[in-house]
Amino acid sequence: MPIYEYECGSCGHRLEAIQKMSEPVLKDCPACGQSTLKKLISAAGFQLKGSGWYATDFKDSGKKKEKSGSPDTPPKKKAGGGCGSGGCGCH
């Protein structure tokens, strides 16, 4: 839900309100009681709720998964003989 900022035109009191976009704009100032609250234009703030959201937006914190092979097994080497390895005779 969006977080809106308001300012009272009478007393200058500022407040933030978490509201649905379909809710009506607040009008009454909680500090002085006047109906002079105005919604301010500011950077959009929002709040994520529910079980599907993560603080970093990534479930595994960017960790790479290990391959199914054992960690003690060295990686396989590519067969030589191709260009760039010195096996073709051009280098």
- 82 belongs to a structural domain: no
Q: What is the pLDDT of residue 89?
A: 62
Domain that holds residue 42: 2-46
- 15 belongs to a structural domain: yes
Distance, CA of 30 to CA of 43 (rounded, Å)? 23
Distance, CA of 49 to CA of 72 (rounded, Å)? 43
SS3 state at 87: coil
Q: How many domains does the chain have?
A: 1
- 35 belongs to a structural domain: yes
The pTM score is 0.49
Q: What is the pLDDT of residue 57?
A: 59
Distance, CA of 86 to CA of 84 (rounded, Å)? 6
- Going residue by residue through the chain (91 aa), what tens digit of pLDDT does each one get? 788 999 999 999 999 999 998 999 999 999 999 999 999 987 766 777 777 766 665 555 555 655 555 566 666 655 555 566 566 666 5
CATH code, domain carrying 34: 2.20.28.10
